[in-house]
Amino acid sequence: MLQAFYLTFFILSVILAVAYVFIWHRHFNASLLGVFIMIPLSNLAYTLMYWSTSVDVYTAALKVLYMGGCYLPWFVTMTVCNLCDIKVSKLVRTGTFLINTLLYATILSIGYSDLYYKSIEAVMTPSGIMVTKTYGPFHTVFYIVVGVYFLAGMALIVYSYFNKKQVSRKILNLLFLPEAAAMTGYYMNSFFRGNFEVVPITYVIAQITYLLIAHRMSLYAVGDIVTESLVQSGDTGFIIMDFDMNYLGSNETAKDILPALRNLSIDSGISGVKELDKTVVHWVTHFKEDENANKNLYILRDENSEEEDKMYTVNVDYLFDGVKRRGYQVFLADDTQNQKYIKLLDKYNNELEEEVEEKTRSIVLMHDNLVLSMATMVESRDNSTGGHIKRTSEGVRMLVDEIRKDGKLKLSDEFCRDIIKAAPMHDLGKIAVDDAILRKPGRFTPEEFEKMKKHAEEGAKTVHEILKSTDDESFKKIAENVAHYHHERWDGSGYPEGLKGEAIPLEARIMAIADVYDALVSKRVYKESMSFEEADKIIMDGMGKHFDEGLKEYYVKARPKLEAYYRTNI
């Protein structure tokens, strides 16, 4: 059981290390990489220790384990210094590393001297190897060193919290967790009397926390790259913020133009600061409402100076990490110097917009064709409904046209487009119905009909899976409702949920009329087609029972077009 536990946490630590490598950025500090190397190494050592069958194998694994124990606190402390923007001299960095190395040298002497362990003995038991150790003087030194690193790390975090405005409070809050988790792991083992190690758990918790920190750091790194290039040009100001309008940084030029930036802490909100509400917040708000409104003119007046007003062109854009949008960036530049930049940006934006629109049209067309092809494939399995999806889609379009002409229901253009587009998907659930039932050349038995009725619920699930990655929430909802509820009845006697009245979505009520009308006037293997007069009588008699009576007038208006269409298409 314990072997499986340690192996599981070793695998988790490797996966998290791979995730860190995946998001790695060249601005990440090397000490954080050391953390992600040492933790899987330590968890591997735990696995080998509890799988060992001899004292030699156990001792070798123990020495690997202590490599993490000696160097991991150093890497963690160096990471804290880096994230808290605390400079560590080469002398201190090298000296502390050498202390850890000397301590590890005493650990490597296990079995050859009594510096760390005076003795180590192993006995095989049915549950695994049982090891008895007698501690030497440097075992105590090890715990003292670890404790010093922990106290130093916590002290640096607390100091930065109160004295470092330009250090992210979110990162400082996160830094407490791995520090506390690591120390919990080191000092709680005594409570389990060597039978169980909690360190692998705390290591994985620390890795997850550092991944969150690294993800946040990548956002600041984006700003660093851009700021490095802009800070050299003293006439260009630069401000970056995340999507929640939290301040991420700016250069000195921007702070000269907008002095309120000097009083902001990293991650503090820009909104609510009077000077910035009128400028930065105003510019970004307009950009969010209309991405084309990304250019402004800002006039900086100094009432106490005889110099002329300074005019800055302001450009707002998304802050990108590769191709991923992470926030907003604001440029403030002298108008003369920025003319070439504006022309270049306009050309780039226009080309990009055209390319995105073209690709989007292609993707939408491809998606629509795939959905229609899938519906047609499902229809081909049902030998009683050939052409059904095409005819019902046309029926829905005719009904929607009459509803729009009347104007009482005030259907939006988006709704009308979506229901017509969703109509072919209403019977996708039949893909889950057994062929023996779906292709039966006759009427269903009660048991077969119960199975057939499941296609409505299955259809909703299928549509949901097909459309779950789409950004068009309106279409996704309408398509699911059409598939799910087109067999519900106004009086509550339908299926699958027995919805009644207006509890049935409007799109499903419209679909129901088109679906039943097609079933009546079309020939099926179990019946001949009805005349238009017979079908019309059934539809009209069903108003207020099967169908929404409020849709009656639109059906009546659409009936001539329906009959004309079906005369040439069945």
SS (H, E, C) 437-468: HHCCCCCCCHHHHHHHHHHHHHHHHHHHHHHC
Q: How many CB atoms lie within 10 A of CB 284?
A: 22
**Partners of 313 in the β-ladder:** 297, 333
Per-state percent for the chain, helix, strand, coil, to nearest 5: 65, 10, 25
**What is the structure's pLDDT at 27?**
64
Task: Evaluate if residue 160 carries a pLDDT over 60.
Answer: yes
Task: Evaluate if residue 465 carries a pLDDT over 90.
Answer: no
CB of 321 closer than 8 Å to CB of 219:
yes
In 234-383, where do the E strands start and end?
A: 236-242, 247-250, 295-300, 310-321, 324-334
% of the chain at pLDDT higher than 90: 29
Helix and strand element counts for the chain (H, E): 19, 7
Task: Evaluate if residue 388 carries a pLDDT over 80.
Answer: yes
% of the chain at pLDDT higher than 70: 82
Residues 6+ apart with CB under 8 A from 27: 217, 220, 221, 224, 225
Closest Cα partner for 155 from 244, 86, 57, 214? 86
CA 411 to chain centre: 33
Cα atoms in the Cβ-side hemisphere of radius 13 Å centred on 223: 22
Q: How many CB atoms lie within 10 A of CB 445?
A: 11
Supply the mean pLDDT for the chain.
82
Distances (CA, A) of 377 to 374, 383, 424, 479: 5, 12, 11, 18
- Which one has a higher pLDDT value, 387 or 396? 396
Mean of the pLDDT values across residues 311-322? 85
**In whole angstroms, what is the distance from residue 434 CA to residue 363 CA?**
33
- Name the least confident of 191-205, 267-281, 412-426, 476-490: 191-205
Mean of the pLDDT values across residues 188-194? 55
**Partners of 134 in the β-ladder:** 119
**In whole angstroms, what is the distance from residue 413 CA to residue 391 CA?**
22
CB of 145 closer than 8 Å to CB of 103:
yes
Under the banding of pLDDT at 50, 70 and 90, the label for residue 459 is confident
- Most confident range, picked from 121-135, 217-231, 235-249: 235-249
Model pLDDT for residues 528-553, shown as the tens digit of each residue: 889 999 999 999 999 999 999 999 99
> What 3 state SS string does 167-214 have?
CCHHHHHHHHHHHHHHHHHHHHHHHHCCCCCCHHHHHHHHHHHHHHHH
3-state secondary structure of 235: coil
Domains and CATH numbers, the chain: 2-222 (1.20.1070), 233-357 (3.30.450.20), 382-569 (1.10.3210.10)
CB of 242 closer than 8 Å to CB of 216:
no
Mean of the pLDDT values across residues 375-383? 60
- Which one has a higher pLDDT value, 54 or 109? 109
Closest Cα partner for 61 from 75, 73, 80, 47? 47
Under the banding of pLDDT at 50, 70 and 90, the label for residue 395 is very high
Find the helix or strand (DSSP H, E) in which 135 lies: strand 128-135
Task: Report residue 68 as tokens.
Answer: 């993490």
**In whole angstroms, what is the distance from residue 136 CA to residue 113 CA?**
9
Distances (CA, A) of 486 to 496, 497, 509: 9, 11, 6
Distances (CA, A) of 398 to 371, 535, 553, 557: 21, 17, 13, 9
Under the banding of pLDDT at 50, 70 and 90, the label for residue 232 is very low
CB of 530 closer than 8 Å to CB of 510:
no
DSSP assignment of 461-520 equals HHHHHHHTT-S-HHHHHHHHHHHHHTT--TTS--SSS---GGGS-HHHHHHHHHHHHHHH
Only one residue has tokens 């993707």, namely: 363
**What is the structure's pLDDT at 82?**
86
Model pLDDT for residues 126-140, shown as the tens digit of each residue: 656 677 778 889 989
**What is the structure's pLDDT at 96?**
93
Under the banding of pLDDT at 50, 70 and 90, the label for residue 285 is very high
Report DSSP state, residue 410. Answer: -
Mean of the pLDDT values across residues 329-333? 88
Task: Evaluate if residue 124 carries a pLDDT over 90.
Answer: no
Task: Report residue 1 as tokens.
Answer: 């059981």
